[in-house]
Structure 1
Amino acid sequence: MKARTKAVPLACHLVFTILAIIIILPLLWMIITGFKSNRDLFLSPFSIPKKWMFSNYIDAWQSGIGVYLKNSIIVTIAATAVSTFISCLAAYPLSRLNFKAKRVTVYFIMGGLMLAPQSSVISLYKMMRLTDLYNTTTGLVLIDAAFRIPFATFLLMTFYKSISYSLDESAFIDGASTWEIFMKIIMPLSKPIIASCAIVSFRAVWNELLFANVLLESDTKKTVPVGLINLQGMTTTNWTVVVAGMVISSLPLVIFFLVMEKQFVRGLTAGSVKG
């Protein structure tokens, strides 16, 4: 029995080790490829570079990745902050208060989960033109934030329902308003799930290509996904420089996840225990 008990954790560790290797190897290959020449990439794609081309990363940065990176950071942080805050404001009354049209409002917001971004490109393009938000960072932030709100609201509603309602009742008895309960009780208890929503939104906005490509015309305003496409030439492409650009553009996302990792892991299990 003891041997069987020990075998289960060992098997789990083995499985997770294999999964980690499967995930890490492509990332390691991408980093190493960024130091190769085009010749080495095509003749020996899985070997160590014969000559380490540090200039690939310099060329990628000078080709505009630095500008695209700055634009992506601004758009992603702004869209993530707006969508997460609005989702918190929407999820609280929908999960813990009773009012007319509550069910209709929930269905309306959750309906956003079924809306494919591709189906709204033409209408949003015309809307941005009419409101003078076309080719502006503000317009892209608003659209990216809007598409992140339904999922974040759903996650937050699920968590808010798991918080004991006795906290609200005690606070009401002590004379606290609804806003004070939300800011001083609910929000501090919701840090893990808010971090999870922020990470999911951050990743989605950072990798968003469709709207950034359609709604941004100026090269000085384009984001990293569009910039990586621009690194590909019309006739010839220095693929190792493109890979170097991919490595540079992925660093902020990796850093953000490492900073928020603890809260994200806590958020994955948030709400699993009632009360």
Structure 2
Amino acid sequence: MVNRIGFLGVITRVFLWAFLLCLAVVVVYPLLWMVLNGFKTNGEIFGNPFSLPSHWSFDSYQKAWNRGVSNYLTTSVLVTVTSTIATVFVSAWAAYGLTRVNIPFSKLTTGVILGGLMLAPSVALVPLVKMFQAMGLYNSFWALLILYTAFRVPFTTFLIRAYMLDLPREVDEAAEMDGCGRWTAFWRIILPMCKPIITSTVLLHILFAWNEYLFAMVFTSGAGVQTLPVGLMSLMSKHGTEFPVVFAGMAIAAFPVVLLFFAGQRYIVKGLADGVGK
């Protein structure tokens, strides 16, 4: 009986590893195929798309970089970094007020903030376009910064608030006895204690802002303010017959976020498990 259980355990483990290996191939192979096609010619892509390049050359990557990918990459980095800082700071400060400060109508305020999770971005496109045009912010960096921050604050606040609810109240009492004000307690005590969920929300927002397409397409039209998703579509429309250049541009755009995801996936899981999972 013991041997039978041990045999079933080995078989289960073999099937599990085989499944995970197949899943890894399904995820990694398209990325690898995209990178390799950036080294090929049009003839090689259409003639034998699954073969290795006959000649390894970075010409397509250089062309993609010079044809606008460098500008799109700079804009994406700027928008992503600034919107991440703004979103996480505003959300953490809001979560602190909702969980550690006795304010009137706190439950109603929480419901209003979290109600933003139910607002679909596509529903608000027309009034937002009119509003940003009237404010002179349409087709600008500030439009994307405001939109990315506003539409991600409810979700980020929800995550950080769930984590802060489980922090001991004795910490606030000790900080008050030591003469700390609200801002000092938040910045030097509560925020460092929320490092796991802060790290998770930072990574999640980066993944969102880097790949967001709808707002970037509607609210930007100039090459100087377009992010990578919109810029790559423009690259495809202008140089659609040069598929190696298109694949090279896609590979350049995917590399930073893929690297970040694999480097930070452990922190995403840990932060969410320690927060919402409690």
Same fold (TM over 0.5): yes
Asked if the contact 2:69/2:231 (under 8 Å) is kept, the reply is yes
Distance change >3 Å, CA 186–CA 6, structure 1 → 2? farther
Amino acid at match of 2:267: Q
Distance change >3 Å, CA 8–CA 175, structure 1 → 2? farther
Amino acid at match of 1:205: A
Amino acid at match of 2:226: K
Query: Matches of 1:178 and 1:122 in 2, distance apart?
Result: 39
Amino acid at match of 1:174: D
Aligned to 2:275: 271
Asked if the contact 2:163/2:274 (under 8 Å) is kept, the reply is yes
Query: Matches of 1:253 and 1:89 in 2, distance apart?
Result: 27
Further displaced range: 118-127 or 89-98: 89-98
Aligned to 1:238: 242
Counterpart among 120, 123, 128 of residue 124 in structure 1: 128
Query: Matches of 2:272 and 2:107 in 1, distance apart?
Result: 26
Amino acid at match of 1:125: V
Distance change >3 Å, CA 86–CA 9, structure 1 → 2? farther
Aligned to 1:184: 188
Q: Does 1:135 align with 2:105?
A: no
Question: Counterparts in 2 of 1:158-177, with a 5 A limit?
Answer: 158-177=162-181
Percent identical among aligned pairs is 38
Aligned to 1:75: 79
Q: Does 1:214 align with 2:218?
A: yes
Distance change >3 Å, CA 88–CA 9, structure 1 → 2? farther
Amino acid at match of 1:228: L
Amino acid at match of 1:76: T
Asked if the contact 1:231/1:237 (under 8 Å) is kept, the reply is no
Shift, 1:236, TM fit: 4.8
Q: Give me the TM-score of the superposition, normalised by structure 2.
A: 0.90
Question: Counterparts in 2 of 1:142-153, with a 5 A limit?
Answer: 142-153=146-157
Unaligned runs of 5+ residues in structure 1 are: none
Q: Does 1:200 align with 2:200?
A: no
Shift, 1:161, TM fit: 0.9
Query: Matches of 2:276 and 2:162 in 1, distance apart?
Result: 10
Query: Matches of 1:203 and 1:272 in 2, distance apart?
Result: 19
Query: Matches of 1:273 and 1:115 in 2, distance apart?
Result: 24
Distance change >3 Å, CA 17–CA 234, structure 1 → 2? closer
Query: Matches of 2:270 and 2:237 in 1, distance apart?
Result: 44
| Number of aligned positions between the proteins | 274
Asked if the contact 2:162/2:276 (under 8 Å) is kept, the reply is no
3-state SS of the aligned residue for 1:217? coil
Further displaced range: 57-66 or 46-55: 46-55
Further displaced range: 165-174 or 233-242: 233-242
Q: Give me the TM-score of the superposition, normalised by structure 1.
A: 0.91
Aligned to 1:95: 99
Query: Matches of 1:181 and 1:236 in 2, distance apart?
Result: 55
3-state SS of the aligned residue for 1:62? helix
Asked if the contact 1:72/1:206 (under 8 Å) is kept, the reply is yes
Shift, 1:244, TM fit: 0.8
Asked if the contact 2:240/2:246 (under 8 Å) is kept, the reply is no
